[in-house]
Amino acid sequence: MEEKKTDWKSMLGLALIFGIVAFMLFRNQEDQQETENTSQTSEVISNSSQPVKLLNNTALTPENSQGQVIEFNNELIDFKINTKGALIDEALLKNFKTYDSLPVYLVKGGDHKFDLEFMTKDGRKLRTRDMVFTAQESMNGKNKVLSLTANPASGASIEFRYELQPSDYMMDFNIRTQGLSQVADTSQEVALNWELQAYRRSKSISTESRYTEIKFEYDGGSDDYTGQGENAEEDAEDITYIAYKEHFFSSILLTDTPFKSGILKSYNNTSEDDEQNELTKKFTSKVQLDYSGGELAYNMDWYFGPTDFEILDGYDRNLDEVVDLGWGIFGVINEWAIRPLFTFLSSSDGLGIPYGIAIILLTICVRLVLSPVLYKSYLTQAKMKILRPELNRIAEKYKDNAMKKQQETMKVQSEAGASPLSGCLPALLQMPVFFALFKFFPTAFELRQKSFLWADDLSSYDVIYQFPEGFKIPFYGDHVSLFPILASISIFFYMKMTTGQNMQAAQQPGMPNMKFIMYLSPLFMLVFFNSYASGLSLYYFISNLITIGIMLVIKHVIIDKDKVLAKIEKAKAKPKKKKGRFASKMSEIMEQAQAQQEEQQRNKKK
């Protein structure tokens, strides 16, 4: 498999979040006329290119070699299927619009290609895309059934059968052959080729491209993805589904009989500097099918619908993996904690709170859950501020002896219970939550086109000012978003609170310039999150406000400066306790190092 290329903006965003946490440590079809159908009513294909009705269940061979179009739909989706190649020409989702109020087509025009390719016994290559199928539509209970059959040779047939439930994005799709073994060279594999274009449906084409890729399941349940590189390719064996995943919508082909092997590719159609701004990526797949007794028999399914975790997870086909919740522990936190909580807060089955308010409540819940974990870290920071005068005296007293200065500093911190290491682990524990939320908000389908205050879409950036057409600030964009500004301001004040009293006048060699970081981190937040999901910026803004509030409470209510200083003096007066093995070893190492340093100084004087 090729090495995946990760979008640099996502990496920058993750790095930014890491830096902030580490710093705590240090996207109208016309209405169709309704007609009554009975279980014995079918559609006939005429010479017209418009959909027409069958008079009976007898399949009629169309005279037009270019094929005819059949309308095949349910409550959620309108399909147009062409008898030329038995191909889906259009797939229109009825209940969704793009960011500019246009219909959402997952298949449109000539952007979809689906083809079986096999070799004949005399060495010719036959393709289903060149065949004109006859069509027969019927009912299977409440389900609509469309059967399309082609005869590549006398006595041989290929059937594509579609079955659509009344209210489902998933459509049964079967491929059956009879007598094909008389024509085909069954010693060679059959190639299935599937090609599709991905369309822009959101304000930011760069953001949409960032979350547009191929995901697939293979080898009995493992899942993988091609990545978001300009040209991404993966090969796999025993493939059970291929998902052409766009930001909020997906086209997925599933099979009960695994495809023996396949090559999956995606290509960028556009870039930020390209005038073409309708298409994002092009997907292609080529998989191998096996004959069974000289025939093809594959039970498959098509899914054309939203990349909604709840819908995909309901099929029990491991399709929840199509939603990018993050890898490893980040995905676990999103799947089992963040998503259930947010669903409870915002869905009609739960509290039904408006989405913007739900984000605020989610933020409060997360901070409350993390508060016991973070308390010790905040407490250590507050104590370190109290100890600053004492530490400054030590630094001045032993300014010519770095080893002794370090020993005395650690001693004072230990006596006050303010060792920086004591707050390190609690701070690290919050990092997976930050990364998980960084993945959750931009991919949460529930937030798509949901408004809050001045933001008209919490899954995309908010705009308070649009620059004149053609004007764009490098790295920043062509607009101004307010939520990132608020988040940046809150980060600045948070950092000022945590660093203002801790920055030394003279920066130690090799140590980062904390004052520089204090100004740089909010700037990164302002620039990067300007084109990111406003729901994420809202979260960080509220989270920072809560954090600042917690720190103020700790400083003015919980921490008693006089008690901390008294604790230090009391610890000094107590008899020295026997050190633990680790402490003793560290003390021994430092004493040896100090002795070596003193010896080197004496030798220099000689």
Do residues 366 and 315 share a domain?
no
Residue 428 structural domain: 345-568
* Residue 301 banded pLDDT, cuts 50, 70, 90: very high
Q: Is residue 14 part of a domain?
A: no
pLDDT at 87: 92
Q: Do 95 and 453 meet the contact criterion of CB atoms below 8 Å apart?
A: no
Which range is least confidently modeled, 145-154, 173-182, 557-566, 567-576?
567-576
| Segment 106-143, tens digit of pLDDT | 998 778 999 999 888 888 888 999 999 999 999 999 99
List residues bridging with 140 in a β-sheet. 143
- Total domains in the chain come to 2
Q: Assess whether 312 and 359 both reside in one domain.
A: no
User: pLDDT at position 145, please?
Assistant: 95
Same domain? 357 vs 229: no
How far, rounded to the nearest angstrom, does the alpha carbon of residue 287 sit from its chain's CA centroid? 26
233 and 287 in one domain? yes
453 and 308 inside one domain: no
Asked if 453 and 464 touch (Cβ cutoff 8 Å), the reply is: no
Per residue in 40-77, pLDDT (tens digit) is 333 333 333 333 333 223 333 444 457 789 999 999 99
In a domain, 2, yes or no: no
Beta carbons within 8 Å of 83's beta carbon, 6+ residues apart: 45, 62, 67, 68, 69, 70, 132, 133, 134, 135, 148
Nearest to 248 by CA among 50, 460, 102: 460
Alpha-carbon span 370 to 546, nearest angstrom: 12
Residues 245 and 391 in one domain: no
Give dist(CA 322, CA 216) in Å, integer: 8
pLDDT given for residue 523 in this prediction: 86
Single pTM value for the model: 0.77
Task: Tell whether 526 is covered by a domain.
Answer: yes
> Positive or negative CA dihedral for 246, 249, 251, 255?
positive
Buried b (16+ CB within 10 A) or exposed e, 446-485: bbbebebeebebbbbbbbeeeeeeeeeeeeebebbbbbbb
DSSP assignments along 183-222, one per residue: TB-TTSPEEEEEEEEEE--SS-HHHHHHT-EEEEEETTTE
Taking 50 as the threshold, does the pLDDT of residue 92 lie above it?
yes
Find out whether 312 and 322 touch, Cβ atoms under 8 Å: yes
Query: Within a domain: residue 585?
Result: no
Q: Would 9 be classed as within a structural domain?
A: no
Same domain? 312 vs 356: no
Q: How far apart are CA 491 and CA 572, in angstroms?
A: 38
Q: What share of the chain is helix, strand, coil (3-state, %, to 5)?
A: 40, 25, 35
Q: What percent of the chain has pLDDT over 70?
A: 72
Using only C-alpha atoms, what is the Rg of the chain? 32
Same domain? For 350 and 309 the reply is no
In a domain, 315, yes or no: yes
The Cα 462–Cα 457 span in angstroms is: 7
Q: Which residue blocks in 529-580 are alpha helix, DSSP H? A: 534-553, 561-573
Burial class (CB in 10 A: 0-12, 13-18, 19+), 503: exposed
The whole-chain average pLDDT of the chain stands at: 79
**Confidence at residue 37, expressed as pLDDT on a 0 to 100 scale:** 39
pLDDT at 93 over 60: yes
| Angle at which helices 431-443 and 534-553 cross, to 10° | 150
Residue 576 domain-assigned? Answer: no
pLDDT of residue 16: 59
361 in the same domain as 408: yes
- CATH of residue 233: 2.70.98.90
- Per-residue pLDDT of 378-397, as tens digits, reads 777 667 777 777 777 777 77
